Amino acid sequence: MSRPIVSALLATLVLALAACSGGDGDAPTDVEYTQAVVTAIDRTDFALARITRAKSMDELLQRMAEAEVAIAAAATDLEEHGASEAFVDENEKLVKSLKALGNDVGATAEQASQPGFESLLAGAAGLSFENWDNVNLALGSLIGSGLDVQTLQLQAGT
């Protein structure tokens, strides 16, 4: 190959690698971080809301398992996105709490699907997860620090 073509290919490769690695490695701005949090919470709310609309026990358990995956993915995406410097500690708490909430939902579905535990969810007016509160505490801390986000919105009985 000619030298100009090789140079052009190398330049293209360098730019592609820089784009894949996130460029210069700067932390996201507060606006970018806010959007990442809003997206993670919207995904979590959506996954949890789907559970409440299940029409059968099998569908309920399936949706709970799906919610575990969706919440874990939202937490991982938020973790990988990173936080602006002012919110690093709060982001770690939020990511940890989201992962734990997803785990709680999945573990409950798994236990309820085991022989002898079929009635665990039958007739339940609602489920309470400590990590739901932990997610909202982490979000409350972000809100108190000036970030324009909301807590999880799914309310019992909806």
Q: What is the distance between the alpha carbons of residues 76 and 94, in angstroms, rounded to a whole number?
A: 11
Per-residue pLDDT tens over the stretch 78-133: 999 999 889 999 999 999 999 999 999 999 889 888 877 766 665 554 566 788 89
Q: What is the distance between the alpha carbons of residues 12 and 34, in angstroms, rounded to a whole number?
A: 32
Joined together, the tokens standing for residue 32 give 């970018």
Q: What is the distance between the alpha carbons of residues 122 and 116, in angstroms, rounded to a whole number?
A: 12
Count Cα atoms within 13 angstroms, Cβ side, for 131: 20
Structural element, H or E, at residue 76: helix 57-81
Is residue 158 over pLDDT 60?
no
pTM: 0.76
Q: Comparing 21-25, 49-53, 97-101, 117-121, which segment has the lowest mean pLDDT?
A: 21-25
The average pLDDT across 9-23 equals 41
Name 24's Cβ contacts closer than 8 Å, sequence gap at least 6.
none
The average pLDDT across 31-60 equals 94
Domains of the chain: which residue ranges?
28-144
> In this predicted model, which residue has the larger pLDDT, 39 or 27?
39
First to last CA, the chain: 66
**Mean pLDDT, all residues of the chain:** 81
Per-residue buried b or exposed e for 13-25, using 16+ beta carbons within 10 Å of the residue's own CB: eeeeeeeeeeeee
